[in-house]
Amino acid sequence: MSVVFHMTRGIPSRGQVGEPPRSDESGGLSFHVSGPTRVLGPDGRALNIGPRRQRELLTLLLLRPGVAVPVERLAEELWNGRPPPGARSTLHAYLSGLRRVLEPGRRAPYRLLTTRDDSYALEVPAESLDVARLCALTDAGRAAGVVGAYERADELLGEARLLWRGEPFAELADHDVAESERARLVEEYTSLREEAAEYRLAMGAHASAIGDLMSLVRAHPLRERPRAQLVLALYRSGRQAEALQVLEAGRRLCAEELGLDPGPRLRDLQAAILRQDPTLSAPPRPPAPAPICGYRRTRVAGRAHHPRPHRDSPHRRR
């Protein structure tokens, strides 16, 4: 089962990304599954969550926060379809170990690692889970971009990127159960970077987008969107020859790897550069369009927040 993190709305305010908000529901703990699984205490220090299998069990529960998973299924997933004799007893020992780490000194009923019949659930609020916050920030950034608040969109996506510390659910690298959610989050992060570059290009901040776009093209050489964005950023920075080299490298790669020509987006871009098409020039920063019913509301640090309108917007107070 895959958790749809982007449905959450627990978005931190500025200055809270490095130190996530501490929810009373989670006992002041924050949970991190981008990269190796970590649990940070109320003081920001990492807790010792135990041996490898115990860390894997915690990560399996964080894959589906709030979802009660039967013991038999947890055993199948933990040992990748081959639970050893006595797996149930060993699993219960790991669960007890996690409870001692997450809720020291507490007795039943537990608030975090709860029991439902013969199933267990980790009750982690969205604002305490890094990938949920990352997806909520991405949603808020996209909402700001839709109404033309590009600076705010870039800021929110930048905060989301700071939460990315490596491949999600890395503790479950050898477990098939996490593969689809891992792939979805990697794609979400890649799209986030592409959209951030789009907003910077829209703001005329093309030079600041070049470094990350080069990294994106190296990591995903067959993705046409970041290659086209890089070409445009280089061209607008007065680096026309380099822009054409990036296009030529993409053409060769498509021919060698796929036996295909580049798509129409890259072909049209190359033709436009060669004829010095004036439409390629950096656009002026546009005012935010006036939405009929106001800006889409998002939640930031427990309060309603509107993406900040452009200085020329009719919504700006005089």
pLDDT average, residue stretch 11-24: 45
Quick one: 130-280 is in which CATH superfamily? Tetratricopeptide repeat domain (1.25.40.10)
Which has more pLDDT, 306 or 280? 280
Q: Which fold has domain 5-128?
A: Arc Repressor Mutant, subunit A (1.10.10)
- What are the tens digits of pLDDT across the range 74-119? 999 999 999 999 999 999 999 999 999 999 988 878 899 999 889 9
Q: How far is CA 7 from the centre of its chain?
A: 13
- What are the tens digits of pLDDT across the range 143-155? 999 999 999 999 9
Q: Which residues of 68-86 are buried (b: 16+ CB within 10 A; e: fewer)?
A: ebebeebbebbbeeebeee
- Can you tell me which residue has the tokens 């996506």? 157
**pLDDT mean across residues, the chain:** 84
Sketch the domain layout of the chain as residue ranges. Answer: 5-128, 130-280
pLDDT of residue 105: 84
The structure's pTM equals 0.77
- What are the tens digits of pLDDT across the range 247-302? 999 999 999 999 999 999 999 999 999 999 999 987 665 444 433 333 233 343 33
pLDDT over 80 (residue 28): yes
φ, ψ dihedrals at 265, nearest 5°:
-60, -45
pLDDT of residue 116: 87
Q: Work out the percent of the chain whose per-residue pLDDT is above 70.
A: 80
